[in-house]
Amino acid sequence: MTTMQIHLINPNTTVSMTEKIGEAATRIAAPGTTIVATNPRSGPVSIESHFDEAISAVGVAEEVLAGERENTDAYIIACFGDPGLLAARELTHAPVIGIAEAAFHMATLISTRFSIVTTLGRTGIIAEHLLQSYGFSHHCRRIRAAEIPVLDLEESKNQALDRIIEECLRAKAEDNIGAIVLGCGGMADLRQQIQKAVGLPIVEGVTAAVKLAESLVSLQLGTSKHGDLDYPRPKAFTGQFEHLSQRTY
C-alpha cells in the first residue's frame, strides 16, 4: 500500500471551513493517504475578490514553506480562484494542485461541455479568467452564480444548498451540458447531495484534487524545476517579509 501525506491548504482563515474541507478530502482519499488540512493565521475570512486572493496568496506560500519542513508529498490549494498557485509551485518539488484546475480537467474527462455553479457573480468572472488561462473556455458553456456569500456555506448551509441545487437544475435544463463544476471549496461536502438532486455528474474541486494528487505522487511526478517553476532566487526581503531573505530551498 502506497503511503503519502497531502497538505491541503484552505487559503482563507475560517477554521470551520478548513475542518469541513479536510473531512471531505479524508473521506475520498485512498487508504494510506494522510490529509493534513491547514489555513493561514492571517488573511481574509473568505475569498471573494481579486484583493482577497492577493492577500491570501502570501498565506498559501507560507503554508507551503511550512509543509516543506514536514514529509509532504503533495499540496492542494482549496480555493476555486487557485490563489498563489504558480508561486506555490516554485517553492516545492512536490505537486501543487489548485482545485479549479483539477475540477476543469476532471469535468472534461466525463463530458464535452460543462457549466460552473459558483457563489457570487463577481467570483464567476474570476473563474472565467481561469478558464481562459488554463485553456478550458471552449468546454464551459456557462458560469452561473447562486449569489450567496461564501460564509453562508458555513452559517446558513441548508439555505445555501437549496440555492445551489436550484442553479444546478437551471444549468441542466438550459445549458446543454453533461456535467457541472462546483465553483467553491466550501462546497466540498455537498457534492453527493447535489448530484443526487440534479441527476448529472457533479465535479467538486477538493475531492478531484485529492485523486489527482494521489496519481501524481504514485507516478513519481513532481513540479518541474526546469524553467519558470524553478526555486526562487535568494534575495533580500524587507519589512514583514524579512524572514524570507536569502532563503535557500
pLDDT digits (tens, 9 = 90+) for 3-20: 999 999 999 999 999 999
| 94 lies in the same domain as 109 | no
153 to 55, 105, 175, 234: CA distances (angstroms): 22, 25, 25, 41
Q: Which domain holds residue 73?
A: 4-98+208-244
Note the pLDDT of residue 206: 98
| 186 lies in the same domain as 215 | no
249 in any annotated domain: no
Indicate the pTM of the whole model: 0.96
| 145 lies in the same domain as 225 | no
Residue 248 in this model has a pLDDT that exceeds 80: no
pLDDT (average), residues 190-196: 96
Note the pLDDT of residue 50: 96
| 213 lies in the same domain as 230 | yes
| 116 lies in the same domain as 184 | yes
Note the pLDDT of residue 157: 83
Higher pLDDT, 10 or 152: 10
| 179 lies in the same domain as 239 | no
Residue 249 in this model has a pLDDT that exceeds 80: no
Q: Looking at residue 144, which CATH number applies to its domain?
A: 3.40.50.12500
Note the pLDDT of residue 246: 81
Q: What angle do CA 44, 105, 93 make, to 5 degrees?
A: 65
61 in any annotated domain: yes
| 212 lies in the same domain as 187 | no
Number of domains present in the structure of the chain? 2
Which among 179, 60, 162, 174 is positioned nearest to 115, based on CA atoms? 179
Burial of 207 (C-beta count, 10 Å sphere; 0-12/13-18/19+): buried
The alpha carbon of 111 is separated from its chain's Cα centroid by a whole number of angstroms, namely: 20
Note the pLDDT of residue 5: 98
| 191 lies in the same domain as 68 | no
pLDDT digits (tens, 9 = 90+) for 204-236: 999 999 999 999 999 999 999 999 999 999 999
pLDDT digits (tens, 9 = 90+) for 155-171: 888 899 999 999 999 99
Note the pLDDT of residue 162: 95
pLDDT digits (tens, 9 = 90+) for 37-93: 999 999 999 999 999 999 999 999 999 999 999 989 999 999 999 999 999 999 999
| 133 lies in the same domain as 165 | yes
Residue 134 in this model has a pLDDT that exceeds 80: yes
Q: How confident is the model at residue 183 (pLDDT cuts 50, 70, 90)?
A: very high
Which grid cell is 194?
A: 447535489
Note the pLDDT of residue 2: 77
How much of the chain is in helix, strand and coil states, percent to nearest 5? 50, 15, 35
